[in-house]
Structure 1
Amino acid sequence: MSDLVSIERQGRTAIVRFDTGSRANALSPALMVDLTTVAQSFHACPDVSTVILTGREDQFCMGADLKDSDRSGSPKAPLSQRRIALRRGPAMCEAWEKIDALTICAIEGWCIGGGAALATSCDLRVASATSQFYVPEVERGMNMSWGSIPRFVALVGPARSKRLAALCEKVPADRALDWGLVDHVVAEGTTLAKAIEIAEQSAKLPPTALKMVKHDVNAAALALAQATGYRDLEAFALLQQSDDFREGITSFLQGRDPEFTGD
């Protein structure tokens, strides 16, 4: 594992921080692999009741790193190779969702695209009053993938999921709380402290019972997740070949408005 991710233990709580050193704190392929490995290390960890995930002190995550040439495999690569590269994001989110302990995401600043997918893979979310959520994938000519749509629907319902992921609405912290996208909104710079407060309360509970109920809730809320989200990787691989996908990425990198044609 690289130095992009750090782990701190406080009693029955583990705090995972990721920091790329850049303002965007974007999810590079290397960071996604590291976050997956870290999450998997907690899958069978009976002495941990809560895992807290947080990003930079000023920014949670502005999504996948679109400037990284290895972000999702070259569009010119064979489909068989691209499908393997495209599994990094879904694998990361699935690993965090499957952690046995309660997971809390502490969010400062922007939570964009893949960052939102990662945050909603956790059980609870604490956002700062200045945080904003934004899922711009459709504006980039792609679909929202990583198995996130069923998680969005479970949290905020179908209509609001469409506003978030199809219409690409920017959702400020107060609206996110009203929608149920986050569970707590606190003053800027205090999200980690609030997450630790929740973790301390959960540490007083019998850990095995807590973990059992967590997974019971996930099973009920996400019973159809595999059936409704299985195709999003294949859809992304298909859209990679479209003119709109190339225009969405190119226009973003050039800082201009896209001109989509439907091709």
Structure 2
Amino acid sequence: MKEIISVEKAGPVATVTIDRGAKRNALTQDMVLRLTDIALEFQQDTSTACVVLSGNDAEFSAGIDLGDPARWKQDDRTALEKRALALRGTRLCKAWEDMPQITIAAVEGMNVGGGIALTLACDWRVMGRSAYLFVPEVQIGIPLGWQTIPRLVNLTGPARAKQIVLLGEKMSADKALEWGVADFVVPDGAARGHARALAERISKMPDLAVRMSKQSINAYANALNHLGSHMDVDQAMLCGQSADAAAARDRYGR
């Protein structure tokens, strides 16, 4: 049986591929945990210089799987258990952000919600020209979480971040490039190849200098990120328990 998440290493470059077929790479809780474990393993890996994170040829991710009972059926859980579960996405993105390797997300087709959160935790984003971004969280009754807000504000500024989060409009690759959410736009089908080519360039540079440069840039750029978003999981839990949010999820899932 084909793995949903695979890891391929070619010398100092690794490629992590998400391919859930017809499920459009919607992220289940098991997938979130697996992607977190992969990032934590790379944090201890001194032989890999760069990691490419890719979806399949059709899409990067449809976001969190709204049909995953492990995420929404929580009536028998304690408040502490519910919060621990809700923090999984935060830990996933932090694990990828903290990887010492340069990380490059390759995006074809759609990238939605939690998928965007994951790619914003990477260093660079390469998008196919027909790819698009979509942030539906507010439309389903919850704030954008996983400590994504400060990462988004760092890239776009506050006014544009509000447009992306609140208006819930699909954003084209060209607009993502203009607004700083994407770093490279390439012909459709070429995102993974372009990301790997960038990774090969990075892998030929002195690895220690690359890692320390990334660490210094992130330390400055992200210095206040946790302070500004450490309670976003609690905000999401509070909003998500409302009747309005439940009705919105129901409508969105149809």
Q: Into which bin does the TM-score normalised by the smaller protein fall?
A: over 0.9
Task: Quote the Cα distance in structure 2 between the aligned partners of 1:119 and 1:65.
Answer: 17
**What is the match of residue 101 of structure 2?**
101
Q: Structure 1 residues 234, 195: CA separation in 2 closer, same or farther (over 3 Å shift)?
A: same
**What is the match of residue 121 of structure 1?**
121
The DSSP-based 3-state class of the residue aligned with 1:42 is: helix
**What is the match of residue 197 of structure 1?**
197
Task: Quote the Cα distance in structure 2 between the aligned partners of 1:209 and 1:8.
Answer: 25
User: Shift of the alpha carbon at 1:223?
Assistant: 0.7
Is residue 252 of structure 1 aligned with residue 252 of structure 2? yes
TM-score (norm 1): 0.93
Q: Which runs of 5+ in 1 are unaligned?
A: 255-263
User: Shift of the alpha carbon at 1:72?
Assistant: 4.8
Task: Quote the Cα distance in structure 2 between the aligned partners of 1:71 and 1:207.
Answer: 39
**1:170-206 Cα deviation digits (max 9, x unpaired):** 2100000001101000000010110011011101110
Task: Quote the Cα distance in structure 1 between the aligned partners of 2:52 and 2:170.
Answer: 25
Task: Quote the Cα distance in structure 2 between the aligned partners of 1:221 and 1:10.
Answer: 31
User: Shift of the alpha carbon at 1:22?
Assistant: 2.3
Q: Structure 1 residues 66, 208: CA separation in 2 closer, same or farther (over 3 Å shift)?
A: same
Residue type of the alignment partner of 1:107: V
| Mapping of residues 31-110 of structure 1, within 5 Å | 31-72=31-72, 74=74, 77-110=77-110
**What is the match of residue 207 of structure 1?**
207
User: Shift of the alpha carbon at 1:4?
Assistant: 1.8
**What is the match of residue 166 of structure 1?**
166
- Which is further off, 180-189 or 162-171? 162-171
- Which is further off, 73-82 or 212-221? 73-82
The DSSP-based 3-state class of the residue aligned with 2:69 is: coil
Task: Quote the Cα distance in structure 1 between the aligned partners of 2:85 and 2:130.
Answer: 34
User: Shift of the alpha carbon at 1:23?
Assistant: 4.0
The DSSP-based 3-state class of the residue aligned with 2:245 is: helix
Task: Quote the Cα distance in structure 1 between the aligned partners of 2:25 and 2:12.
Answer: 27
Q: Which runs of 5+ in 2 are unaligned?
A: none
**What is the match of residue 130 of structure 2?**
130
Task: Quote the Cα distance in structure 2 between the aligned partners of 1:141 and 1:75.
Answer: 19
The DSSP-based 3-state class of the residue aligned with 1:36 is: helix
**1:38-97 Cα deviation digits (max 9, x unpaired):** 111110211111000001111100100001111255256432221011111111111110
Task: Quote the Cα distance in structure 2 between the aligned partners of 1:100 and 1:44.
Answer: 9
**What is the match of residue 149 of structure 1?**
149
RMSD of the TM alignment (CA)? 1.3
Task: Quote the Cα distance in structure 1 between the aligned partners of 2:73 and 2:177.
Answer: 36
User: Shift of the alpha carbon at 1:129?
Assistant: 0.1
The DSSP-based 3-state class of the residue aligned with 1:71 is: helix
Q: Percent identity?
A: 36
| Length, aligned pairs only | 253
| Mapping of residues 216-227 of structure 1, within 5 Å | 216-227=216-227
